[in-house]
């Protein structure tokens, strides 16, 4: 039986299940605890927490912040209390980027306005929402195709976002009362010395953990990350990065092809760290 999933997106950002739906699904599959880690916001937490009370599931407040360190690096923050202005400001940059993307699409004659998207999708809108529109308009076959041909880096409707630097991101999570964790470390395609350098740099600014288990990671890959975490005295976390139908291949709690299994004990350590 799977126990926990500490990396989940809802409709508060670019997931397709509402926070309450995520909790209901987690309850159906018997999970004991989940963390809501929407991009740049904790606004989905209140609804998830309340649904968690109804279903008897522990719900942890979290966030995922995009930063840059050569490549795009994501930092998870757990037990966030109050977002400092730096993090709250990220949503404004996102909005400005999104307005440009919507304008590019409208200039091509597509029936897209950012105002309508805000009304339909809410406050934190990302490229998957543009992908969804492209699929609905019959221009893209699926989300992978939408990224490959339209919204992925270098494509017609790609506009970069200004991200906050990695040091400030980690510090902002600490200042928000949260525990910063390096997300999905293999996504950055770093060599072992490069990954260690990244970890050490983040630790200088308050990093407390590494996401060791993640959708698609092999037992060998996770084992390597767990040994790294232990060597640095960092916490271990794990989660699926569930986005609902925006990443249909990823299942809540169990990842891709059931590869994921995260022990409840890791959450206990994380909770202890947050209370210190
Ligand atoms: P944004 O933060 O708005 O630039 O959008 C980035 C988001 O797009 C990521 O958080 C992922 O959820 C999603 N994403 C990136 N690449 C892909 C892809 N190839 N297929 C589906 N979703 C993707
Ligand atoms: Fe996402
Ligand atoms: Fe991420
Ligand atoms: Zn994520």
| pLDDT category of residue 236 using cuts at 50, 70 and 90 | very high
Q: How far is the CA of 265 from the centre of ligand 1 (A)?
A: 30
Ligand closest to Cα of 184 equals: 3
How far is residue 3's CA from residue 263's CA, in Å, rounded to a whole number?
A: 6
For ligand 1, whether the C-beta of 144 sits within 6 Å is yes
Q: What is the pLDDT of residue 184?
A: 98
Cα 89 from Cα 71, distance rounded (Å): 21
Is the CB of residue 143 below 6 angstroms from any atom belonging to ligand 1? yes
Ligand 1 pocket check for 243: Cβ under 6 Å: yes
Return mean pLDDT, the chain. 97
Amino acid 209: pLDDT: 98
For residue 120, is pLDDT > 90?
Answer: yes
Output the CA–CA distances (angstroms, integers) from residue 181 to 49, 91, 146, 226, in the order listed.
21, 21, 30, 13
CB-based contact 8:239 (threshold 8 Å):
yes
State the average pLDDT over residues 187-191: 97
Residues at Cβ < 5 Å from ligand 4 ion: 64, 241
42 C-alpha to ligand 4 centroid (Å): 13
Q: What is the pLDDT of residue 87?
A: 83
* Bridge partners (DSSP) listed for residue 181: 76, 209
- Nearest CA owner, ligand 1 atom 1: 126
Q: How confident is the model at residue 163 (pLDDT cuts 50, 70, 90)?
A: confident
Comparison of pLDDT for 83 and 45, the residue scoring more: 45
pTM score > 0.95 for this model? yes
The answer, yes or no, to whether residue 181 has pLDDT greater than 90, is yes
Is the pLDDT reported for residue 162 higher than 90? Answer: no
In a mutational test of the pocket of ligand 1, which residue from 11, 63, 128, 169 has the highest number of ligand atoms less than 8 Å from its CB? 128
Whether pLDDT at 89 is above 90:
no
């Amino acid at each position: 039986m799977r126990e926990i999933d500490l990396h989940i997106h809802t409709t508060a950002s670019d997931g397709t299940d509402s926070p309450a739906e995520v909790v209901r699904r987690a309850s159906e599959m018997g999970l004991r605890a989940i963390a809501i880690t929407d991009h740049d916001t904790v606004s989905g937490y209140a609804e998830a927490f309340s649904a968690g009370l109804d279903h008897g599931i522990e719900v942890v407040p979290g966030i995922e912040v995009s930063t840059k360190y050569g490549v795009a690096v994501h930092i998870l923050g757990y037990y966030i209390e109050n977002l400092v202005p730096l993090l709250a400001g990220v949503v404004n940059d996102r909005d400005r980027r999104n307005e440009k993307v919507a304008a590019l699409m409208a200039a091509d004659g597509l029936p897209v306005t950012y105002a309508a998207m805000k009304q339909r999708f809410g406050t934190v809108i990302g490229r998957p929402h543009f992908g969804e529109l492209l699929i609905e308009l019959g221009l893209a076959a699926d989300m992978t195709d939408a990224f490959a041909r339209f919204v992925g880096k270098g494509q017609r409707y790609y506009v970069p976002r200004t991200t906050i630097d990695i040091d400030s991101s980690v510090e902002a999570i600490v200042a928000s009362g949260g525990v910063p964790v390096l997300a999905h470390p293999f996504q950055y395609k770093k060599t072992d010395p490069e990954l260690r350098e990244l970890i050490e740099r983040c630790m200088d600014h308050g990093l407390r953990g590494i996401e060791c288990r993640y959708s698609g990671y092999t037992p060998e890959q996770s084992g390597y990350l767990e040994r790294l975490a232990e060597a640095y005295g960092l916490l271990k976390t794990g989660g699926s990065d569930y986005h609902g139908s925006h990443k249909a291949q990823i299942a809540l709690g169990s990842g891709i092809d059931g590869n994921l299994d995260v022990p409840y004990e890791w959450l206990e350590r994380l909770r202890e760290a947050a209370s210190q």
